Amino acid sequence: MSEEAVTRPPRRRAAGGSALRLISLLVLLVGAGLYLRELWRDLDPARLRGVFVPLAPLGLPAELEPAPDLGVPPGAAVGRDVVLVTLDTTRPDRLGLYGNRAIETPTLDRLGREGVVFSRAVATASATLPAHASILTGLYPHGHGARANAVFVADSTRPTLAEILAAHGYDTAAFVSSFALDARFGLDRGFAVYDDEMRRTGASLSFSERRGDETTERAVAWLRSPRARPYFLWVHYYDPHASYDPPEPYASRCANPYDGEIAFMDAQLGRLLDAVDAASRRAPLVVVTADHGEGLGEHGEDSHSYLVQEATIQIPWILRADGVLPRGRRIDGRASQVDLMPTLLSLLGIDAPAGLHGGDWTRALDPNRAVLAETVEGRVNFGWRRLSALYLGDAKLVSGARPALYDLTRDPTESRDVAAENPQAVARLESRLRALRRGEPELLVPTTGARGDDTTQPLAALGYIVTEARSMPASGPGPDPRDLMAAMDRLLLVVDAPANADAIPTWVRLVAWMKGIELPRTDEEAIAVLEAMAERDPDFAPTFYFLALYYNRTNRAEDAARTLERLDAVKRAASGAG
């Protein structure tokens, strides 16, 4: 055999090996590129600040029977004890009953199977105080007056559910878990016991709460007291509100900490209902709902209060009364928080006050009625535009600087705005929106909460933003909050960074820096970053608020006062308030 014949095969093997190495290198480069793309995407502020959970279509159990109403006549629950439970910041798509297969919420699941579930219920506002005021008065925010957290008080001339039930012989008690529902804001009327004792925890920029187990213990102690009359008990759980820090074993069991908070809250609800059953002579009328949802990154909103998209407006609503209400029933009609009070009063055989905005679900409501939601938090605090949502059948209009229109049957997660293709539908819905607002006050006139007083300081500790309490037009010019969520999330990422400095890896800081986001480690660094941000964008009002908070934290009172004056000027110029 010749030498040439011997040497040819190795040359072919070497060429094949080079091709293989080249292919492997290309695969590695493509993989690295995909990884970096995902990493870059994950450095979106909404993802870095907390939990990013896309909104999912609701999927209730198939065994729930569709029905147009509760299936019982008015007065069916006369004399029954009443328990109202409100779940703060709770998205229905994160509950097992409504389709979340990655969570265990046995109490809520059981309530749904044993009672009536509303599949299309919505809040009247995406903030705690106005939504709860609607639950307790049957009125939209422009009717009860508590239109935003901290700087408004519910209208004392409008009777609350507790006042009405107390007048009909009920013992009444409330146990709330957030300063946003402090008695000074007017929802204590009618309650013989109103337990709003809060413990402030953490730094002034962190969230604080009374955990569900403590609230449950207080409510259970009240239930064990002897009584000869029926009772009305309201219990408010705050746990799913940011920041999310569920205790074990819920932190380990759940896919994310927001779900973990909900699972923990469900367990506390179970404890409460066990005590309710033991304290009631007959099966009580139990109502469970939420004040609003949570953005979790949907439409760019990390938390809530500033948008009226489904993630923050869609809510759960369950009614159970063994021996009174049918079991395993589902109502698909559009329901609102304003319906809760008239429905409960009807079941109890008590006449509702005149002029309520809500309807009574002991009978089917008009499918062509319009339902309203709004937020004025951005307007009151920053001079942004008021956002409103109008529901009519399958259509949802979001009204701000420009209209957006969604077909919620085909597009339940609001992924496609069809306003441009349907100008006549937009005009019709805008007309219905004006009709629902007819007679509302032209001005937003705060009734409490002067800047820096003992009202706004605890709200700041809860993470709420409360600025100078001055009157301004309810409608008018100003930036649209939908256009500002990315900037807001970038700002909040900076604001939260010092408190989480030890938990932020170096690579996260590097990639954030590459995206133009500097993550400060100390309060002094945060002040420097915020000062630079204010210099670059002098019209973005929230920067001045947080800068003022950091000045206060570092004992720079004069700088804080000057910054808040600048904030007030920016806000009033943007809103047209002069």
Helices (H), 193-339: 212-223, 250-253, 257-279, 310-313
SS3 track for 458-492: HHHHCCCCCCCCCCEECCCCCCCHHHCHHHHHHHH
pLDDT, position 455: 57
> 210: part of which helix (H) or strand (E)?
none
pLDDT, position 446: 79
User: Using CB atoms within 10 A of its CB, is residue 26 exposed (0-12), middle (13-18) or buried (19+)?
Assistant: exposed
Both tokens assigned to 356: 């309520």
pLDDT, position 445: 84
Where do the structural domains in the chain lie, given as residue ranges?
76-200+207-354, 484-575
A 10 A CB-CB count for 286 gives 27
- Across the chain, which has 578 residues, the per-10-residue mean pLDDT values are 45 60 71 57 55 93 97 97 98 97 96 98 97 98 94 94 98 95 94 87 52 97 95 97 92 94 98 96 96 95 95 98 97 98 98 97 96 95 95 96 97 97 97 94 75 54 59 89 93 88 81 84 96 96 93 90 92 83
- What superfamily does domain 484-575 belong to in CATH? Tetratricopeptide repeat domain (1.25.40.10)
* Closest alpha carbon to 336 in 320, 302, 359, 312: 359
Give the chain's radius of gyration (CA, Å).
Answer: 26
Digit-coded pLDDT (tens) for 108-155:
999 999 999 999 999 999 999 999 999 999 999 999 999 999 889 999
pLDDT, position 179: 87
The b/e string for 396-426 (b: 16+ C-beta within 10 A; e otherwise) is bbbbbeebbbbbbeebbbbeeeebeeeeebb
Name residue 558's beta-bridge partners: none
pLDDT, position 39: 53
Reported as half-sphere exposure (CB side, CA atoms, 13 A), residue 354 has a value of 0
Both tokens assigned to 250: 């819920």
Digit-coded pLDDT (tens) for 94-111:
999 999 999 999 999 999
Q: Which CATH class is domain 76-200+207-354?
A: alpha beta
Both tokens assigned to 129: 């105080």
First-to-last alpha carbon distance for the chain, in angstroms, is 100
pLDDT, position 60: 96
Specify the residue for token string 């190495």.
Answer: 21
Digit-coded pLDDT (tens) for 461-494:
555 556 656 788 888 899 999 999 999 988 988 9
CA–CA gap between residue 264 and residue 179 (Å, rounded): 21
CA–CA gap between residue 277 and residue 443 (Å, rounded): 46
pLDDT, position 159: 98
Dihedral, 205, 210, 212, 214 alpha carbons, nearest 10: 150
pLDDT, position 315: 98
